[in-house]
Amino acid sequence: MTRESRKLRRQQRREANRGMWRRKMREEPGAFWTYVVLRTIVILVLIRSLFNGHFDSAIVCAFVLLLYVLPQFVENRMNIEIPSVLEIVIFVFVFMAEILGELDSYYLKYQHWDTILHTTSGFLLAAVGYSLVNLLNKSEKVRVQLSPAYLAIVAFCFSMTMGVLWEFFEFAADRWLLLDMQKDTVLSQISTVDLDPTLSNTPVVISGIVDTILELSDGSYYRLGLGGYLDIGIYDTMADLFVCFLGAVTFSVIAFFEERSVKRPLTTALALHKRKKLPEEARTE
């Protein structure tokens, strides 16, 4: 391929990309303007973070901007149409999780912020898992038609697998980067076999804990003053997985019954589907 042909191809791709954004603004104004408004806010936060020297926050903003272009990348590369409703939910979810949750500390300011996001993610990931298998169901190249029950099970399993992998990521970040993504819980009672003097695997229950004192390696003591014993993330992890489970079950059950029905409002609004390439896209191939 000559230099001129490569330049022409790049120009055609840019024109096709601009055409797709114009089409999105015309046909999917909700998703388009949600993207524009939230992306503008993230860029302003990025500039503020760089100006104030908060480079860790700037990295988070750059990560969000990358996530915001992924839906369009998926649509272009995989010839998949992402429903407008799903795109809006994704844009808002990422903004709530990273900008509000991480940078504005909503995870600490609002008790159930993390719970709401993990429940939503379980629901959305189930929709993605359902879509991936449903695309095969509708593909002309695949002759196997999967049952509604199988679709629901795959959607559920996909969501839970992604939820577990995310908790692995949080643990790794806490273990190696000391980020405390798995938030701690203050407990007034613990049960452990490590305090059993008989070594007979009998749990020793300690109740009425009102404070914890740490003895450091230099011989100094540090009183936590939190009103109990500090759990290290396990309660947060299990709560996240449980609400992810609830979200995944909710979508899977609804998808099961919609697959057996003529009307499918939820799966139609959230499920990915194949689309025909537009003329401006075909010219770039």
Give tens-digit pLDDT for 2-33. Answer: 677 777 677 766 776 666 667 777 778 888 89
Are 133 and 256 spatial neighbours (Cβ–Cβ below 8 Å)?
no
What's the average model confidence in pLDDT over 245-270? Answer: 91
In this structure, are 72 and 118 located in the same domain?
Answer: no
245 in a domain, yes or no?
yes
Is 284 within the bounds of a domain?
yes
CB-based burial label for 217 (10 Å; 0-12, 13-18, 19+)? exposed
Is the confidence at residue 124, as pLDDT, over 70? yes
Statement to judge: residues 146 and 273 lie in one domain: yes
Region 217-224: what's the mean pLDDT? Answer: 92
Question: What is the band of 264 on the pLDDT scale with cuts at 50, 70, 90?
Answer: confident
- Other residues' Cβ atoms within 10 Å of the Cβ of residue 169: 11
Domain count, the chain: 3
Over the chain, what is the mean pLDDT? 87
Helix (H, G, I), strand (E, B) or coil at 76: helix
Residue 280 pLDDT: 47
- Which among 97, 98, 171, 86 has a CA at the least distance from the CA of 131? 86
Residue 276 sits at φ, ψ, to 5 deg, of: -80, 140
52 bridge partner residues: none
In this structure, is residue 116 part of a structural domain? yes
Decide if 153 is inside a domain.
yes
Asked if the structure places residue 98 within a domain, the reply is no
Tokens of 77: 């590369």
Dist. CA 266–CA 280, nearest whole Å? 31
Cα Dmax for the chain: 81
Q: Domain check: are 153 and 34 in the same one?
A: no
Q: Are strands 273-274 and 185-187 parallel, antiparallel or unpaired?
A: unpaired
Clarify whether residues 146 and 211 are in a common domain.
Answer: no
Query: Quick one: 124 and 157 in the same domain?
Result: yes
- pLDDT of 282 > 50? The answer is no
Do 3 and 56 reside in the same domain of the chain? yes
pLDDT of residue 276: 59
Are 144 and 191 members of one domain? no
Beta bridge partners of 221: 215
- Higher-confidence residue of 273 and 100: namely 100
Residue 10 lies in a domain: yes
Does residue 142 sit in the same domain as residue 274?
yes
Is there a single domain that holds both residue 200 and residue 124? no
Residue 104 is assigned to a structural domain of this protein:
no
Categorize the per-residue pLDDT at 284 as very low, low, confident or very high, splitting at 50, 70 and 90: very low
Residue 105 lies in a domain: no
DSSP category for residue 112: T
Residue of higher predicted confidence among 37 and 7:
37
In this structure, the answer to whether residues 202 and 150 fall within a common structural domain is no
Tell me: do 271 and 152 sit in the same domain. Answer: yes
Domain end position, chosen among 80, 98, 125: 80
Same domain, 73 and 15: yes
Kindly report the pTM of this predicted structure. Answer: 0.82
pLDDT at 87 over 80: yes
Express each pLDDT in 128-162 by its tens digit. Answer: 999 888 888 777 676 667 788 999 999 999 999 99
Task: Give the domain range for residue 262.
Answer: 111-183+234-285
